[in-house]
Structure formats: structure tokens, C-alpha cells
Structure 1
Amino acid sequence: MAQQGLSGAEAFVGEWPARAFPVSSSRNGTAAVSMTHAYTLVIPTKDRSYHLGRRLPVWDRHGFDEIIVVDSSKDPFHRKANEEACRRFGVRYIYADANRSRARNLGAQAARGGWVFFEDDDLWGYATFHREVMDRYATKYDWLTARESQVLHIFNREFFLRLGGFRENLVLGEDEDLALRAKAQGTGGPTEGLYEGVGFEPNEIERGMDFTRRLSNYMEYSLTLWEYLDRVENPRLVAFSWYVSVLRLLVSAAKGDLRAVTYFLGGVGGLFFGRIAKSLRKVRPRTPIDGQAGVR
């Protein structure tokens, strides 16, 4: 089923009954969507149905008003498995031949909630989501982040769309870039009290499979970082945020966080690989970032 605003290989294919969306009575007595305190979870995924199958049951118990999976899988096996999992849990499903930044933007564009939560399909997750805490934060802030985090994954949807979403020409470093723009234009709040307990974490099979995948992703997309620095208005500030992220990963790796080791090796290796690849390519003239973003 084609959806307005999506084009090309992008289409809604989830036509099964999804979870009921909250409504409130308007002044004239008709039903109206209650946006401010309605929450949408957006999950981009690509060729990793084993992740999604393990995590959807936990996310489903959190009580989000809406869950959207944006699937960019090339393998028909994973596409079919993801679609079946979404059908089972009443989750909205979008297939999009898109990179990660574009997939997130599509999810936010399709969301009906007033707030959008972005989750990766391969991370560990919390056991409990305290909605009453989020209800308090929702009327005060434009975005939320943990104190120790350099990136933002929880946004007021209207604010996110005004920012332009994730830059779709940037696949690595897109989180830090969005955080810089959000902090310059909006008011941020904490995530303290939102979550509790560990709902799931990567198992040994997932960690083994994802190690090589993560390294290959850094190599594949690292050139976009250097091309982006050539075009962004304040390259030193953006580069500084990346270096800070790498240093934080190094500290975590030194403390024994094996996941941070993968990110650190991939990040450093990817940056060097991208720099070498860039030097071998013809230098393009410096131009402004196209329109600031990606959500159309």
C-alpha cells in the first residue's frame, strides 16, 4: 500500500490491523489524536531479523502507542521474517531501500505520536518504560538525552521535523551532527527515571555476527564523513565532536566494555580508510549542505 510522501522503492506494506492509537475528544465532540503524550518508537533494521525477533516482544511490553519498523533488508528471507514479526505484534512496517539516516527520517515522517524514540535493532534494552515520567518531560522539552551521552534519540516530533531530521548524506556521525543542531535550537531534558532494568542484551551469537558487520559498515561509509566535512559550515566543531566520541569509546574499552572495543576499532579504522579513499578521489568544490536535511 503506497503512502503519500514515500517514493521509489519506499512503500508501506503493513496492511494488518495495528495497535489502536490514543484519541481524545475535541471541543466539537469529534475524535482527535492526542499528540503531546502519544509516543512512537522507530526502529530501522537491515538484514538482521534475528535481532528484531528477539527485541520486539520487549518493546511491545513497554506500552508505546505506536511502533514503526523501517526495513532496508536486501535479503528476502529477512524481509519476510521482519514483516511476519511486525504482523504478529501489530507493528507498522515500512520497506525502504534507504540508508540508516533516511530510514529514521521516514519513520519520523510516518509517526503519529507527538514524540519519537529512535532505537537501533542490535542494542541492549530496558525492561520497563515509565510512561508517567515521560508525560512530565513531554511538555517541558524538545529532546531528551542521558547525561553521559553525546547523541540524542528522543525527540518532540515537530521539533525534529523542523530541524530537518538526520542528514541523509551522512551515515556515520549523523547522531553527533543532529545533536549539535538540536542543542543550538532547542531545550533539552534528562532521561533519568524513564527506564528501569535490563530487558535484553546481545547474546554470543549476535556479538559474533555483528563484530565483522560493524567493522565493514565503518569501512563502507567512512568516506561520507570526510566528504561531509568538506561541505559543512563548521567542520572543526563537527570533527571535534567525533574525536570526543572516539576518546569516550577508548575510555570505555579500557574499562573492559567489549562493545566499545568494536566501535573504537571500527571508528578509527573507518576514519583512516575514509581519509585515504578521499585522497585518491577527485576533490569536489565546496558547496553548502543540500537543504539542511532529509525529512520531506
Structure 2
Amino acid sequence: MRTPEISLILATVGRTDELARLFESLAAQTYSNFEVIVVDQNDDDRLLPHLDRARYLGISVRHLRHHPANLAAARNVGIEAATGKWIGFPDDDCWYSPRLLDRLATRFAAVDEPDGIIVRWVEQDEQPLSAADLSWERSRAFRDIPVSSITLFCNRALFKEIGGFDSRLGVGQWFGAGEETDFAMRALRGGAHFTYEPLGEVHHAVNPHKPQANRQTRTAVRHRARGTGALYAKHHLPAWVILRGLVAPLLRPLLKGSFGAELALGYDTMMGRIDGMLGWRRRHS
């Protein structure tokens, strides 16, 4: 059995049926030399029928258990187990375009040999359609391509060099987001070559409806915003970047004359970023 070139680390908890679409898209890839490492954070065997189905489709699947649930820590477990030269991190409810892995293999083998590739999230229309290299200077100003875990693919050696994801950040933690952006910023600051490749396409549904400012949504928004605030403090970002990040969520709805849910959620975003920045400084000073 040949060693896979690409390891896809799928950390999952709670979902089952959504995995079917992802596995179908992986079975349809025009590139076949990959493995899927499923890091199962469930307390039961709900995934087993879906993993059997994936193997029936011809996908190489390894099944690991991890408790307690922590997305960043689970991905680190997968990284340690990975054998591929390159690593990606699909969500359990995303899916890949048929030529994604093919395009990645070609791009990673190019003359410039990038350490990391960011692909296009199709449903996020604001992402550009032209290739570009990322830089630490622009990233520390929060001006580069937004990094989402589903769009991030890296050379496995890079994780050995700078470490994996910071398990203090992300889903399941008080700082409720930001672990993939933190990883990219650490890599870029250390001189890694990251590039954006719009021909690589990953899919993940987005909610077309404007969020309602109910208590649950507002709590979730503030929780996630703490991750951005933590990045402000952890990476010692310039004062003007922080000020812009605090003012913009309120300023945008005000300039549009929107004084309802959008303004309320903007306030929660600002307060969550303040929470995260001060919380990080208190805990890690």
C-alpha cells in the first residue's frame, strides 16, 4: 500500500448525516493518493456506519478517538497521526470540488514550493479570483485573505517546525475562534511561504438570512469574537489595527442607518473582542 501524499484530518462531534456529502465528494476526486483521519469526539459509535460507507467508496479512512471535545486539540491529534506530506482540515459539513486535491498536488509541486495554500471558499463571494502570496505585514494588519480551516492546506513539516493549533483557541474554548488564523500568522511571521489559489475550490453552505439579535445569537457572536481579541493580544498587533477592529462593527451599521439587529450584533462583536484581548492578557501575561 502506497503512502498517501495528502492527509485530510476530519475532527467531528455531534454530526452524522452531513458526513455523507463530504465522503461522496472525496470519492469523486480526480486525485486518489490521500487518506482521511477521522478524529471522533463523540461518546458513542454513531460514526461507524458512515466510516464503513466511506471505505466502501474506496476512501482510505483511519478512525481515532479524542476526549474531551476540543476542535484544535483534536486536529493536533490528527496531525500527529498523519503520514501525508500535506495536510488539510475539512469540516464535517463541507465538501470538495472534484479537482481540488489534484490542483493542490500540482500547486505544492510548483517551482516556488509553497509551505501552505489557501483555497477559495466558493460560497464566500468576497474572496478574490486571482492568485496572490500572503505576507506577515498584511496579515498583522488583518488585510490578507481570510483564513478558514476548510481552506487551509499545509506541508506537514511546517507543523513540526512551529507547532500545531493553539488549543486555547477555537470551538469549545472560552476564546471561541481564531485557531486557524493564529496558525497562519505564526507561520507567516516565521517566514513560511503561503499562497492563495482561487482555482482550488471548497464548498460550505452559508446562511443567506440576516441573523436575528436574539440572546442565543448574540451570545454566540460575542463568544466567537473573543478569538479575534485574543489574536490582538497574542500577536501584539498595532494599536491602529485594534482600534479599527473595535470601531468597525459599530461604524458599519451606523453608516448604513441600520439601528436594529445589525447594530446589536456589532456591539456584541466589539465587546467580545475587548473580552478576548483583556482575557488573553490576564491569563497569559
Q: Shorter-chain TM-score: which interval?
A: 0.5 to 0.7
Query: Structure 1, unaligned stretches of length 5 or more?
Result: 1-19, 23-32, 255-260, 288-296
Distance in 2 of aligned mates of 1:217 and 1:190: 29
Shift in Å at residue 86 of structure 1?
A: 1.6
Which residue of the partner structure matches residue 161 of structure 2? 162
**1:25 corresponding residue in structure 2:** none
Contact 1:219 1:274 in 2 (8 A): yes
Kindly tell me: are residues 48 and 220 of structure 1, through their superposed partners in 2, closer, same or farther at Cα, counting changes over 3 Å? farther
Deviations 1:159-215 (A, max 9, x none): 1221212111111112221121222221123424334xx8x76499xxx9xx99886
Compared CA separation, residues 241 and 102, structure 1 to 2 (3 A): farther
Q: 2:22 — aligned with what?
A: 55
State the Cα deviation string for residues 202-229 of structure 1 (Å, max 9, x = none): 499xxx9xx9988665455555554565
Distance 1:203 1:144, change over 3 A: closer
Match of 2:89 in 1: 118
Say if 2:73 is the partner of 1:108: no
**Kept in 2: contact 1:137–1:189 (CA 8 A):** no
Q: Which residue of 1 aligns with 2:54?
A: 89
Question: Distance between the aligned counterparts of 1:115 and 1:101, measured in 2?
Answer: 18
- Using the size of structure 1 for normalisation, the TM-score is 0.60
Which residue is 2:183 aligned to?
A: 178
Does the CA contact (< 8 Å) of 2:229 and 2:276 recur in 1? no
SS at match of 2:98: strand
Report the counterpart of residue 236 of structure 2 in structure 1: 234
Question: 1:216-270: per-residue Cα shift (whole Å, max 9, x none)?
Answer: 654555555545655x2514489659949x87xx89xx9xxxxxx99x9878635
Matches of 1:104 and 1:84, distance apart in 2: 22
Give the Cα separation in 1 of the matches to 2:17 and 2:272.
30
Q: C-alpha distance in 2, partners of 1:42/1:238?
A: 36
State the identity as a percent.
21
Residue 150 of structure 1 corresponds to which residue in structure 2? 146
Whether the 8 Å CA contact 1:40–1:68 is kept in 2: the answer is: yes
> Residues 138 and 156 of structure 1 are in contact (CA less than 8 Å); yes or no, is this contact kept in structure 2?
no
SS at match of 1:141: coil
Of 173, 179, 191, 2:197 maps to 191
Deviation at 1:138, TM superposition (A): 3.4
Find the residue that maps to 1:181 and give its secondary structure: helix
Counterpart CA distance in 1 for 2:240 and 2:77 is 24
Cα distance between partner residues in 2 of 1:67 and 1:183: 27
Question: Which amino acid in 2 is paired with 1:98?
Answer: A
The answer as to whether partners of 2:86 and 2:154 remain within 8 angstroms in 1 is yes
CA deviation after TM superposition for structure 1 residue 142, in Å: 0.4
Between the aligned partners of 1:39 and 1:162, the Cα distance in structure 2 is 18
Number of matched residues?
A: 229
Q: State the secondary structure of the residue aligned to 2:97.
A: strand
What SS does structure 1 have at the residue aligned with 2:17? Answer: helix
Matching residue of 2:133? none
- Matched residue SS, 2:26: helix
Instruction: Give 2:37's aligned residue.
Output: 68
Rounded Cα–Cα distance in structure 2 between residues aligned with 1:142 and 1:224 = 25
Q: CA RMSD in A?
A: 4.4
